[in-house]
Amino acid sequence: MTQQKALIGKRVFDGSGWHEDAAVIFEGGKITGILPVDLLSADMETIEGGEIIAPGFIDLQVNGGGGVLLNEEPTVEGIATICAAHAKFGTTALLPTLITDTFEITSRTVAAGIEAKKQGIAGFLGLHLEGPHLSLARKGAHDPALIRPMEEHDLELILSCGEALDALMVTIAPESVSPEQVNTLARAAITVSLGHTEASYDTARLYATAGARTVTHLFNAMSPLGHREPGMVGAALDTRNLHAGLIADGIHVHPAAMAAALRAKNGPGKIFLVTDAMSPIGTDMTSFTLNGREILRHDGRLTLADGTLAGADIDMAACVRLVHETLELPLEEALRMASAYPSDAVQIADKKGSLKPGFDADFVVLDASLHPQSTWIGGVSVYQA
């Protein structure tokens, strides 16, 4: 029989409100409640947490970390390394993300993801397949030679792993995928995300009706908001059921544009934080390779030789600090953008993203400056500063 444990914090944010001088109670990998410290029973094992305890961060777009890029190491070991690297920054659940690649590499990634799930790799939530079914006009750093329309064998591969994973996200462009294919994926509970596209406002809305649920890295690699043609950006903000990921590094999107988007978003769909992190996170690497092309790391940017942005050099805790400090969002809203909102976007809000009884015991302990001091996944400490 497992013993209840209590992680004590000066302040505990449960996803909705604050508890002062309280403890998160957990047992068997699940949260059983939150109690004031003076109501803890004497026989309960207590653990000193720190200044702030919050729901663990959930990152739905993570290309790499710890020196590993998923495209270059589509294995269980690669996935485990990426998850461990991001745990140091408060991320307790993530979608390792495969950037546009060959069908062979995609197949190997899917197989590795299914096996990682079976092995219970800490922090592994599922996969995000970002391409290859995108628009050449909005390719970004994706290899144009590998971008292509979705065919039947692609659809079958994606459907084959949908039930095996807790979450599966697929970024597609209407230019390369039909509404019928989107509907097939959506009916299988796969999160279809619109991105790397020149789609018009009306086309994007059509695909949302077909079942698309999210938008990949809002503003980047998509048709912009215009006063006569609102484009993909306008559709993302105006369509109630669309959620949207946002790379909050201050480089991919100007803070003023972030703030304007947050004010404009029509709900219940929300804007959530993603890192779009690459292999250098958690390392001192100055360059790495993607699809045979060198990516350079300098001044907080990751770029191809021609200056094209190629992923981001930021962690989730840093994203939270930026939207809280630079955009002056309330801390609780910044934390929700990194936990509750992404959990809702991929339909796991009944078990992750908040500190509620019955939810997974995933939490991060932050100091007063919002730097992670410890990270817990399933009630197990996976990182201590």
* Distance from C-alpha of 195 to C-alpha of 219, rounded to nearest angstrom: 9
Please report, as a single letter, which amino acid is at residue 181. Q
259 and 370 share a domain?
A: no
* Length of the chain, in residues: 385
Cβ atoms of residues 374 and 385 within 8 Å: yes
27 and 156 share a domain?
A: no
Is 276 catalytic? The answer is yes
2 pLDDT more than 80 = no
Total domains present in the chain: 2
pLDDT of residue 307: 87
pLDDT of residue 378: 97
Q: Percentage of the chain with pLDDT > 70? A: 99
pLDDT of residue 1: 53
The phi and psi torsions of 275 (rounded to 5 degrees) equal -95, -30
Helix, strand or coil for residue 354? Answer: coil
285 pLDDT more than 90 = no
Residue the block writes with tokens 């004497």: 42
343 pLDDT more than 70 = yes
- Strand 309-312's sheet: what is its strand order? 287-290, 293-298, 301-303, 309-312
Please report, as a single letter, which amino acid is at residue 385. A
Cβ atoms of residues 47 and 363 within 8 Å: no
Q: Which domain holds residue 34?
A: 5-55+354-384
Cβ atoms of residues 351 and 359 within 8 Å: yes
pLDDT in tens, 61-106: 999 999 999 999 999 999 999 999 999 999 999 999 999 999 999 9
272 and 297 share a domain?
A: yes
pLDDT in tens, 300-313: 888 888 888 888 89
144 and 39 share a domain?
A: no
103 and 139 share a domain?
A: yes
Active-site entry in 101, 276, 315, 344: 276
- Cβ contacts of residue 221 below 8 Å, gap of 6+? 138, 139, 140, 195, 196, 197
* Distance from C-alpha of 223 to C-alpha of 220, rounded to nearest angstrom: 9
62 and 46 share a domain?
A: no
pLDDT in tens, 182-226: 999 999 999 999 999 999 999 999 999 999 999 999 999 999 999
* Distance from C-alpha of 172 to C-alpha of 213, rounded to nearest angstrom: 11
* Distance from C-alpha of 355 to C-alpha of 217, rounded to nearest angstrom: 27
pLDDT of residue 335: 98
pLDDT of residue 98: 98
Task: Tell me, yes or no, if the pTM score tops 0.95.
Answer: yes
Q: How far is CA 18 from the centre of its chain?
A: 24
pLDDT in tens, 237-267: 999 999 999 999 999 999 999 999 999 999 9
Helix, strand or coil for residue 5? Answer: strand
Helical spans, DSSP H, in the chain: 76-87, 103-119, 152-162, 179-187, 201-210, 231-238, 255-264, 316-325, 331-337, 340-345
Structure tokens at 106: 């995609």
Nearest to 59 by CA among 259, 260, 281, 237: 281
Q: How far is CA 62 from CA 5, 130, 205, 299, in A?
A: 31, 10, 26, 20
43 and 167 share a domain?
A: no
Cβ atoms of residues 345 and 60 within 8 Å: yes
Q: Give the domain CATH number at 51.
A: 2.30.40.10
243 and 318 share a domain?
A: yes
Tell me the Ramachandran region of residue 282: left when phi exceeds 0, alpha when psi lies from -120 to 50, beta otherwise.
left
* Distance from C-alpha of 358 to C-alpha of 260, rounded to nearest angstrom: 36
Helix, strand or coil for residue 152? Answer: helix
* Distance from C-alpha of 190 to C-alpha of 214, rounded to nearest angstrom: 11
275 and 378 share a domain?
A: no
pLDDT in tens, 17-55: 999 999 999 999 999 999 999 999 888 899 998 999 999
Q: Give the domain CATH number at 116.
A: 3.20.20.140
340 and 360 share a domain?
A: no
- Crossing angle between the packed helical segments 76-87 and 103-119, to the nearest 10 degrees: 70
Helix, strand, coil share (%) of the chain residues, nearest 5: 30, 30, 40
89 and 208 share a domain?
A: yes
pLDDT of residue 162: 81
pLDDT in tens, 95-149: 999 999 999 999 999 999 999 999 999 999 999 999 999 999 999 989 999 999 9
50 and 148 share a domain?
A: no
